[in-house]
Amino acid sequence: MSTKEQKERIELLQGTLDLLILRTLQLGPLHGHAIAKAIEFRSDDVLQVEQGSLYPALHRLIKRGWISVEEGTSENNRRAKFYRLTAKGRRQLAVETSKWDTLAAAIARILRPGEQESES
């Protein structure tokens, strides 16, 4: 099977998918498949997104008003739904990003105490 060919992949932490979608949409409106591809591509295929789980997440974000949806035409001339970051979503992204940074830094401090001390 193809798993062998693929690089080692990491399961996504719960909730981080939302953050990744928001970040991806910051670059411009995309349709569902494109979002999945973009996340895989930008993480050098390290992050394994089960593509289906994208859809509950997208719907969740729409419900919260962080992204909006509009009809458009995909690159191969098919009608598709394009998802666009809203102003509210942009603010949320900033909040989530700084939260993530704090979390990552904290985890890093615990995992590599020496390096952290030398840094500070």
Residues that bind other proteins (CB under 8 A): 2, 32-33, 36-37, 50-53, 55-56, 59-60, 62-63, 69, 74, 76, 78, 80-81
Q: Kindly report the number of other CB atoms within 10 A of residue 85's CB atom.
A: 23
CA–CA dist 97, 4 (Å, integer): 33
For other proteins, which is the closer residue by CB, 56 or 113? 56
Least distance in angstroms from the C-beta of 6 to other proteins: 10
Least distance in angstroms from the C-beta of 2 to other proteins: 6
For other proteins, which is the closer residue by CB, 65 or 113? 65
The pair of structure tokens assigned to 60 is 């969740």
For other proteins, which is the closer residue by CB, 1 or 111? 1
Least distance in angstroms from the C-beta of 8 to other proteins: 16
For other proteins, which is the closer residue by CB, 29 or 116? 29
Length, in residues, of the chain: 120
Cβ-defined contacts of 14-19 (< 8 Å, 24+): 16/100, 17/49, 17/53, 17/54, 17/57, 18/57, 18/60, 18/61, 18/96, 19/93, 19/96, 19/97, 19/100
Least distance in angstroms from the C-beta of 93 to other proteins: 19
